[in-house]
Structure 1
């Protein structure tokens, strides 16, 4: 097939949506499909475009068999709600010509748009219908709901027209997917036909990230901790929607009773400097920058427990993509979520769920795990089982490829041949 992906995030960005866009495209290219991408320069999570990609011009490159067209965008140093809108609007405008020209000249069989940015998905959905391609929109989060519910946008008069535009874009695609069952339900309440929706969660490589003893050298050289420390790890983007200040509050509380409990916050983002100021004077909190993919598996195993704080307003607007790797590492996780939300149900028996915003409850849960190695082991084993059953990279990407192929051949009045199905099965086995 010829597959065109349109999305604002792509490699060499290391985390977030870029990781999944990149891994999907490279897997499809490795399976023999022709894959092209229209994207922006790297900028996330620092919200800063690196020197080689700066300048208001278009760039073309090829990475691991994928042809990439990068469009210029506006990237704010401080991403407020209004500036984010301008940021996404700039990608919508700059990607307009590459998407249309590539679609008309190259004639992709599948047009796959990824939100964010939802605004930029309008053109891919429209052009796919004109050239007879199968159109697929994948939502990593609900941008409009999150912007208002989390206070990124405060002008309530904007909400109604933005929701109306969102509905039009969602309905324009042949298929719409998102990353959790609760988010699928939200799609249906927004008016998307039930037979159009599907779940495609953010996968993890359960072979690469696996349980095991933490590397003593990694703990000592990278984390500056020893084997007797009980390590509580947060790894990911540091923005205002995570509620990371609650970890600092818990660290301050725990530090008064147990000096062996240590907190490590690893990542980058617009909220990092503020968090470092909040943690000023605390000797049990340390910060790390983004880790390479080679170090990431070791980082996850270096933790005794993983932390996922979350504001109540963010419930079911997004399922944290970091969760798959955390579960695969075979370590327990403490999450902030209300009962019945997607995050709470996803954890199951693989961790401890506490109410959002409860820093005291977080401190108590950490202390309970720090004093109970058997409970940590039991929860970690269950977490690993959940990862293998629900988050396996090879299985999820194979399902996406099969769906694309079936829809493409249906449009051609064909069905997959026995040989094609056998080839897909073989690729699936090899990937495992």
Structure 2
């Protein structure tokens, strides 16, 4: 198959959408498919374009048998409110001519990752002119998130945005999302159930590290023996509710055998530094190389995954799979009845969101119970191996993609006959 992928984020970004888009494209290329990608220069999660890339020009490079076209875009240093909207719009604007240029290549499928939803018209138009299947993959319901989190406001604006979203989603041949709850939401937004597909974020199951004390990061961070490490690794965004980690660290200052480690980059990092200034039980790490990722996860005695209550079921944290596969227990803040709560509560500890007290009690419970840590860590790894295996998920996806291409070709043949 010939697949045109439009994704704001792509390799060499190592977290979030960029990681999954690149792994998907490269996996398909290894399977013999021809993949072309339209993306931006790498900037996430630091929100700073990396050296060697120019966000003002169109460039093309080849990465692991995938042709990658990078388009101009605007990258704000503080991605909040209107700036974030303009950032997404800038990519959609400059991705349009790149998508139109690819029509002559005659892709059989056009795959768009949301956000940005603003790029949907370009993807839809390119797909229809080329006679290709249009697949919209929703990693984040940006319209719902923008209004729930207060990035955008106003009843009229919300109604118009939701109407536009519904119109665009209804034109896709397939609409997918990484969780059952997010897929169900697509149906509630008017997408026919038969057009939806749950495309879970996968994980590569690596060797399970049995002992946190074996991690080289302990020596690097001067962590003493017998100290329990509570790890958060990933994007440090302003709207993730990460301040709860700082609040819990303050509550547990009296426990000298518990240390919080925050690893990552993003606009909230400076705020977290300010909020935890002077606390002896918290350390920060910059985003680490991909080659050391498994070793970083092995540093943890437990992982913590904060999520705000108002983000429930409009996003499924992509980092959850890696946490579960690491053989370490996971504590997530999630509202009862949400999919995140259901998953984590079955293999780890799910606690009330935005409650430092509830989260601190869960940390204490695991710190004081070695057998429980080992039991929940093993359960999480088993869940990841059974439900999040990369090859299993991508083979099923490939079959559905091929089916959508065949279905669209059938529609084209019927149109030609009539």
Structure-2-length-normalised TM-score: 0.95
The match for 2:394 is: 397
Greater mean alpha carbon deviation, residues 298-307 or residues 396-405: 396-405
Secondary structure at the residue paired with 2:346?
A: coil
Greater mean alpha carbon deviation, residues 17-26 or residues 40-49: 40-49
The match for 2:315 is: 318
The match for 2:5 is: 5
What are the superposed Cα offsets for residues 49-74 of structure 1, whole Å, 9 maximum, x if unpaired?
A: 12311251100100000001100001
| Unmatched runs of 5 consecutive residues or more in structure 2 | 411-418
The match for 1:137 is: 136
Conservation of the 8 A alpha-carbon contact between 1:236 and 1:267:
yes
Q: How does 1:98-247 map to 2 (within 5 A)?
A: 98-103=98-103, 105-206=104-205, 208=206, 210-214=208-212, 216-247=214-245
The match for 1:417 is: none
Secondary structure at the residue paired with 2:32?
A: coil
The match for 1:90 is: 90
Greater mean alpha carbon deviation, residues 219-228 or residues 142-151: 219-228
What are the superposed Cα offsets for residues 20-53 of structure 1, whole Å, 9 maximum, x if unpaired?
A: 0000000001111110001111111111112311
Residues 1:359 and 1:209: Cα distance change in structure 2 (over 3 Å): farther
The match for 2:368 is: 371
Residues 1:217 and 1:322: Cα distance change in structure 2 (over 3 Å): closer
Secondary structure at the residue paired with 1:349?
A: helix
The match for 1:287 is: 284
Using the TM superposition, give the Cα deviation of residue 185 of structure 1 relative to its aligned residue in structure 2, in angstroms: 1.1
Using the TM superposition, give the Cα deviation of residue 222 of structure 1 relative to its aligned residue in structure 2, in angstroms: 3.2
| Unmatched runs of 5 consecutive residues or more in structure 1 | 414-432
Say what the alpha-carbon RMSD is for the aligned residues. 1.5
Q: Does 1:31 align with 2:28?
A: no
Secondary structure at the residue paired with 2:20?
A: helix
What are the superposed Cα offsets for residues 266-298 of structure 1, whole Å, 9 maximum, x if unpaired?
A: 101001000001000101000011111111111
CA distance in 2, matches of 1:54, 1:132: 33
The match for 1:249 is: 247
Q: Does 1:329 align with 2:329?
A: no
Secondary structure at the residue paired with 2:48?
A: coil
Residues 1:89 and 1:209: Cα distance change in structure 2 (over 3 Å): farther
Secondary structure at the residue paired with 1:236?
A: strand
The match for 2:42 is: 42
The match for 1:73 is: 73
CA distance in 1, matches of 2:55, 2:251: 47
Secondary structure at the residue paired with 1:53?
A: coil
Greater mean alpha carbon deviation, residues 108-117 or residues 153-162: 153-162
Using the TM superposition, give the Cα deviation of residue 219 of structure 1 relative to its aligned residue in structure 2, in angstroms: 3.1
Residues 1:214 and 1:56: Cα distance change in structure 2 (over 3 Å): same
Conservation of the 8 A alpha-carbon contact between 2:180 and 2:339:
yes
Conservation of the 8 A alpha-carbon contact between 2:166 and 2:190:
yes
